[in-house]
């Protein structure tokens, strides 16, 4: 389902199950920040690939991180900073 807001930003609303179903790899881990599903980390030969499930983390989409914890930490920082910026 897509929701287009008056200021022309489209937000896609999908469930955690839909995100994990879209991931074709065997080893994946959902990444949540403050109870919000922001992406999925999928095993990659160089570590983990981050697949964004939230528009605020679109800049991180398809990025590769050496460990799951690095990906989680980056997602927390980016989500927190963008959430704060959008509130002004």
How do residues 31-61 score in pLDDT, each as one tens digit?
A: 999 898 999 999 999 999 999 998 889 999 9
Contact 57, 79 (CB under 8 A): yes
Q: pTM of the prediction?
A: 0.66
- For 71, phi and psi rounded to 5 degrees? -65, -45
Nearest to 38 by CA among 54, 22, 23: 54
Under the banding of pLDDT at 50, 70 and 90, the label for residue 8 is low
Q: What's the token pair of residue 84?
A: 């704060």
């Amino acid at each position: 389902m897509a929701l287009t807001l008056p200021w022309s930003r489209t937000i896609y609303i999908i469930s955690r199950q839909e995100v994990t179903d879209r991931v074709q790899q065997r080893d994946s881990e959902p990444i949540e920040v403050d109870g919000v599903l922001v992406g999925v980390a999928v095993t990659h030969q160089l570590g983990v690939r981050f697949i964004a499930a939230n528009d605020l983390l679109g800049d991180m989409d398809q990025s590769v991180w050496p460990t799951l914890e690095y990906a989680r930490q980056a997602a927390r920082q980016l989500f927190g900073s963008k959430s704060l910026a959008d509130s002004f």
